[in-house]
Structure 1
């Protein structure tokens, strides 16, 4: 992650938000999202997304990217989640694209995806631990199996981080060299099985700060940003529906029991957005171990509460395919399982607290990752 001077402000360009919102508002119709679930892709939405340069945001222009900060990229991902855009925005840019640019590997014209690292503690679903042999000319042969790889079936190149002689290396594999079994997640988005039976590719040493742990953190941040947008939109749908729906002569939003659901959902939407913005801001400055861990745990827990509240407020309407609520709730339940479960990030935060000790706990909470430096 690109370090900035201490105290240097990180401001998200409002034009980024406005442009992404207009783009998705036009293209991500209910019919388009439904069709993508059936087809496993939405090429017209993805092509329009790439035309704006958002697919390579937060990658330096010198490396062929669009520039901008990680906070800008997180804001774009928030809009992806807000509109349930069925595209690999996180994998192509701030994950796979970041790995390629960091290691100095060539980027293809087509889609890039990334194999998530497998958690040693089983802390999240999917991922892979692959073995690699690297020759002196940078050619690599990879063996292993990876589960739940996002959008693998649509990718031109699949990127992973492997260990070679005790050091992390970034490996780029043509998807055509891999055996890919299409599988969807709960939301109908591709989470495919990738088998690497001696797949040939290119490899380069990973620079300092780029390894499986940093990829897991960056992946967790991407999911927090996506979830922040989805919870916000799910909350707005619920407010609109309960104000329009009339029972016993008045909108159901006026009933106290329903108002309680609305308050819970609104609280969670605000909480996750704040956590996402804080984590992205600190990650743009430099280290954000504490902020990302806390944000992913907050988002995971909020997704469960907000989904329950919004579906209860909608009643049977929220369960129908014709109504868009499920586009958000099913994505939330899928994303909360990726790059760290509640138990995983709770353990990470607990270890940080124990490591800080009694005298450092207050500073850890108030200063965040700055207290870990």
Structure 2
């Protein structure tokens, strides 16, 4: 992507998604002003074709934007909304205004009631794109009830509707894009994890080069260097996996690439968060220090849209079903052609 375009998005995030704004929203404040800034920017429709008032960019083109959203821990479903709008457009539906979370798992129907458990960004989203049994539907969050069931500062929420809202948007079964919502959600979270990991690595390197002990920076101690080298290795592996998840000539992620990206990024998330806190020591868990804004997102996004175990199982199952493939040919032909 053009650096000028990427730089514009980074300047926008630096202005409207500051640590102070993140803390305000995590504390229960409204995200309306932040979201309006994103709406006004015009970036939310970049995956749509130009004839539909989009920019006609591909998923690979916008990968740097997705990384930046993770690096700045943007506390609204920016990446999910871009992908959901493109998904809906491919299904012949114009997305309504507002932010869209993607519920890839955990949506159930009990009689007339609908329940979506632990939806990522469910606390701040305006809509939820979900599959309810065989029906795909876009549900207005305001018509339901939110239940905050996660830890401090979480943006997850479980949602419940007593009946299907009258303003819900139904998607016809014969118009569905190839990519399902589970893989779409996985592809949206992989670059978020990679971006947040890069920020944690940056904060950890800065701290290790500033904090002194026994007369020298702690970054000069071999034990610390070993830990940071592992952290850097995992961070760049996550970035490469996330980039793989966002490969393709169009807007649509590939199922297996999304699976690999989410699996690898989720696997790296816990290690990166643990090492970041180990190097920082006690200061890393304090409310005033920014590290916890990103490590909490790493842990939350690791669990969202399927953990590394779930997606590794999907990849393995797919491989075992391909009797004509070796593991190497499967990677070369199906995952990374």
8 Å CA contact 1:289–1:369 kept in 2: the answer is no
Per the alignment, residue 89 of structure 1 pairs with: 78
Per the alignment, residue 183 of structure 1 pairs with: 148
Match 2:60 to one of 50, 67, 71: 71
CA distance in 1 between counterparts of 2:206 and 2:302 reads 25
Give the gaps of 5 or more residues in structure 1: 1-11, 119-126, 133-141
**Deviation string, structure 1 residues 166-209 (Cα, Å, up to 9, x no partner):** xxx43233434x32124164462432222222222332314566
Change (3 A) 1:91 1:295: closer
Aligned length: 335
Counterparts of 1:185-204 in structure 2, within 5 Å, are 185-186=150-151, 188-199=153-164, 200=166, 201-204=168-171
Structure 2 residue 201 is the aligned partner of structure 1 residue 231: no
Change (3 A) 1:91 1:131: farther
Give the gaps of 5 or more residues in structure 2: none
CA distance in 2 between counterparts of 1:285 and 1:60 reads 10
Per the alignment, residue 16 of structure 2 pairs with: 27
CA distance in 2 between counterparts of 1:195 and 1:275 reads 34
Structure 2 residue 307 is the aligned partner of structure 1 residue 341: yes
Q: CA deviation at 1:100?
A: 2.8
Per the alignment, residue 48 of structure 2 pairs with: 59
Worse-superposed segment, 145-154 or 311-320 = 145-154
Q: CA deviation at 1:260?
A: 0.8
8 Å CA contact 2:38–2:44 kept in 1: the answer is yes
Q: CA deviation at 1:69?
A: 1.6
CA distance in 1 between counterparts of 2:190 and 2:75 reads 16
CA distance in 1 between counterparts of 2:89 and 2:110 reads 22
CA distance in 2 between counterparts of 1:185 and 1:90 reads 21
CA distance in 1 between counterparts of 2:249 and 2:304 reads 19
Change (3 A) 1:94 1:75: same
Where 1:170 maps in the other structure, the secondary structure is strand
Worse-superposed segment, 343-352 or 219-228 = 343-352
CA distance in 1 between counterparts of 2:118 and 2:156 reads 4
Per the alignment, residue 92 of structure 2 pairs with: 104
Change (3 A) 1:162 1:102: farther
Match 1:117 to one of 95, 104, 108: 104
Counterparts of 1:282-297 in structure 2, within 5 Å, are 282=248, 284=250, 288-297=254-263
**Deviation string, structure 1 residues 228-257 (Cα, Å, up to 9, x no partner):** 100001001100100011111111000000
